[in-house]
A and B are shown apart, each in its own frame.
Chain A
Amino acid sequence: MVEVNITGTNAITYPHLNIWDWTIGMYLFLGGLTAGVMIIASLLQLREKPITSTGDRARACSLGPILSFLMINVGMFFVFIDITRKINAFWFYLHFNPTSPMSWGAWGVGIIIPLTFIWGIASLEDKHLPFIAKWKVLVDIFHKFLLYRLVLARINLSLGIFLGIYTGILLSFFVARPLWNNALLPILFMVSGLSAGAALLIIIAKDNGEKLYLTKIDVGLIAAEIIVILLFFASQLTSTAPHVAAIAPFFTRGFYFPFWIATFLIGIFLPIAFVMDIIKISLSRTEYVKFPIFRMHLSAWFVVIGSFIIRQAFVYVGQLSSILDITNRW
């Protein structure tokens, strides 16, 4: 039996859940979603053949880039809410620490925001011009960068990969937190961001051909996500005692019930979305044009919500454990 009594306990010692809260979960979710949209939209732009049934330009190509700009800004807003000395935020851009993932992230997002903005405006179509006609600057950007659309797509593809991996690296660099300190976490967040990005593009797509093409991409990504999640837990289970203890909240009811629910929902949503997508693709060979949009969107929403739950659960559960228990620090 071990009894511990601590005098001088900071809130972070017991419980740990005091470092980062849902705002950082939102930031990581939106960052991953942005990365997914950036990668898929840029790849579709670089693809020469149209993916729509009518041969028109896909919405993923025209609206995806501007959507990624909006989402990364909302994500940064959540970071701004979280930092406790907002007036000092400019220090992120007066210093670069190569060993700090957050420093890489701050500079990276600082580059991503203007580039997604230019790419987003340049990727719009002529029919969207009346919406931005009020702002001459935007129209000028559109005309100036229209020819460089593909160059911007290539740059944003690289930046999307950087952003997707960064959201996982941010957590996996902390040796003190055994749930986060796993090399599979950046891969999990990257794959999860990609599948959620594809799902979001399915939701915004208008053409059924485009929806189906993105569904075919997403089904592979969901499968990869499920495999990486299973591998992540397997790697934790076969690691040290703190790593094993770190995943316990995902499988324990009682005090950890919300995290158990998170595991349950992820375990339900992703396989359902996978099966629904498979059914959609097999039905599409006959008459996909008539396929109800509701079912197309339902599986996509499952993937987006699943991705959101993964980020929030990992942010909270990661703070419940430390590299070694306070009773056994030697």
Chain B
Amino acid sequence: MPRYGMVIDQKRCIGCMACVVACKRENDVPEGHYRTRVVETVYGKFPNLLMEMRPELCNHCKNAPCVYNCPTGASYKREDGIVMINQKKCVGCKACLAACPYDMRFIDPKTGAAHKCTLCEHRIKEGKDPACVTTCLSKARIFGDFDDPESPVSKILAKEFVRELLPAAGTKPFVYYKGQILL
């Protein structure tokens, strides 16, 4: 069984926001809401500045607080590791929004249900990469199967130093970051 996830190479990210636009277009994300974002952080004082580009998305955590806090079972984890929301079961109680340490969920104003990144599972079914990965100009987003040792993401994990967001939260995310500035 595959275990899908992503590695983000922060050194390559140029902050063009094409991933944000592609995600909105692909998933018809409602106005004012986003399934992915890019955080630009500038550290220091001119002229000694450091800039960090950090694309963020749902981390599809192994120990997902959104899943274990969902009262109706609408948020669930698939065998391939993708955290999904069963729209029919969602009551819009917002427990998952409060539970997510990454603030990656939102309530769709049209349907009232919680929404988030699905790693473009409809595209994965067709053998394609998620829209943000396909559209990334600098190949900063790398998608793959962590259970396949030959996949690009597994190779990166085997050889390079990677970090995850908020390890202290104990969520065990499946989105890893490499090449970030170390302060």
Tell me the A residues contacting B by CB distance below 8 Å: 1-13, 16, 19-20, 82-86, 88-89, 91-92, 94-95, 97, 99-103, 105-106, 173-177, 319, 322-324, 326-327, 329-330
Contacts and interface: CB of A to CB of B under 8 A. Distances in A.
Interface of B: 15, 17, 20, 32-34, 36-45, 54, 65, 68-74, 88-95, 97-101, 103-107, 111-113, 163, 165-166, 168-170, 180
Contact of B94 (A5, A11, A84, A97): A84
Contacts of A84: 91-92, 94, 107, 112-113
A83 B69 contact: no
The secondary-structure label for the interface of chain A is: loop
A100 to B, nearest CB: 5
Which 8 A/B pairs are nearest by Cβ-Cβ distance?
A: A84-B92, A8-B37, A84-B112, A8-B34, A103-B71, A176-B101, A102-B71, A99-B68
Nearest to A106: B71
Contact of A175 (B15, B94, B113, B170): B170
Contact of A88 (B32, B69, B88, B103): B88
A101 to B, nearest CB: 7
B39 A102 contact: no
B112 A19 contact: no
Given A8-B37, A91-B89, A176 B20 contact: no
A203 B180 CA distance: 61
B165 A329 contact: yes
B34 to A, nearest CB: 4
Contacts of A16: 103
Contact of A174 (B15, B43, B92, B99): B99
Interface hub of B15, B32, B95 (most chain A Cβ within 10 A) = B95
Contact of B90 (A85, A103, A173): A85
B112 A173 contact: no
Contact of B68 (A7, A89, A97): A97
Nearest to A103: B71
Identify which of B32, B39, B113 gathers the most chain A CB atoms within 10 Å of its CB: B39
A19 B165 contact: no
22 contacts: A3-B41, A4-B39, A4-B41, A6-B37, A6-B39, A7-B38, A7-B40, A10-B34, A83-B91, A84-B91, A84-B92, A89-B91, A95-B73, A97-B68, A97-B70, A99-B68, A100-B69, A101-B69, A103-B71, A175-B101, A176-B101, A330-B180
Contact of B39 (A10, A173, A177, A326): A326
A176 B169 contact: yes
Given A11-B32, A83-B92, A319 B169 contact: no
Contacts of B94: 19-20, 82-84
B72 to A, nearest CB: 4
Contact of B103 (A7, A85, A89, A322): A322
Contacts of B37: 6-10, 13
B90 A88 contact: yes
A223 to B, nearest CB: 32
A91 B74 contact: yes
Given A99-B68, A175-B65, A326-B39, A92 B106 contact: no
